[in-house]
Copies of this chain bind each other. A is one copy, B any other.
Amino acid sequence: MLHEKVDRFAQMRVAPQPDSQIRRIVAVMSGKGGVGKSSVTALLASALHAEGLAVGILDADITGPSIPHLFGVEGKATIVRDGIMPKLTPGGIKLMSMNCFLDDETQPAVWRGPMINGMLKEFWSKVHWGPLDVLLLDLPPGTGDVPISLFQMIKVSGLLVLTSPQSLVSMVVEKAVRMGRMMDVPVLGLVENFAWLSCPHCTEKISLYGPSREPAPGSGACRKT
C-alpha cells in the first residue's frame, strides 16, 4: 500500500515556464466576494516580501482583477519571445493580472470559462516568474471554473480561506473549504476579516458584521492574539 498521497490530478498538471522555480503556491479563497481577499493577498505578499522572501501574485480573478490597482501598478505587461514578463511593484513583488493586458482598466473581459482558463494557463505557463519562495493565487469568488482549473493545472501547496463574522459569509466560505477538500488542497488557515473597527471619533469598538466567531472546538484552528 502506498503511504504517500497519490496526485489524482497528475495527468492534468501544466508545467510552468522553464525558468520558474516556485517553492510554495498558496491560494487565497473566500467563496464570497468583498471579504477583502485581494487586500489580504496584497498585505500577505508585502509581509512575506518584508521578511526577505521572493514573492509573486497571480491575479486569478480575470473578470474582476484588483491586484495591480492595490499596488498602484499601471501599464501593460511586456511580451518577450518565449513568454511574458511579470509586472513589478515598486517594492519588487512580481505580479500578473488581466488588467496588464487591457488598453483601459475599465474594459470588461466578457468571457466564458474556456477563454478564462486559457488566460490562466498563460499566466502560469508563459510568465517568467523566475525563482520565487511563494506564489500567491488571488482567486475570484465562487467554486466555478477558475478554482477548478487552477487546482487541476497547478499543484497548490495550500489554501488560505477568508471569512467575516456574517453568518451568510460563513455558509458560502464553508463551500470553499469543502471544495478544497474535494480537490486535495489542504486548508492552511482561516483569516477572519472585518471583525471590528474603531470609531475615529470616540475610539469605541464597532462590530459591524456581528460578533467575531470563536473557532469551533476540535476544528484545529487557533487564534493569534
Contacts and interface: CB of A to CB of B under 8 A. Distances in A.
A108 B201 contact: no
Interface stretch (A4-12, A47-55, A124-132, A135-143): A135-143
A200 interface: yes
A199 interface: yes
Contacts of A172: 64-66
A18 interface: no
A109 B34 contact: no
Q: How many copies does the complex hold?
A: 2
Contacts of A182: 108, 110
Contacts of A44: none
Nearest to A109: B143
A81 interface: no
B204 A108 contact: no
A49 to B, nearest CB: 21
A145 interface: yes
A106 interface: yes
A108 B143 contact: yes
27 contacts: A31-B63, A31-B108, A32-B66, A34-B34, A38-B168, A61-B142, A62-B144, A63-B144, A63-B175, A64-B141, A64-B142, A106-B171, A106-B174, A109-B144, A110-B144, A110-B147, A110-B148, A110-B183, A111-B144, A113-B144, A116-B144, A144-B144, A144-B145, A145-B145, A199-B204, A201-B202, A201-B206
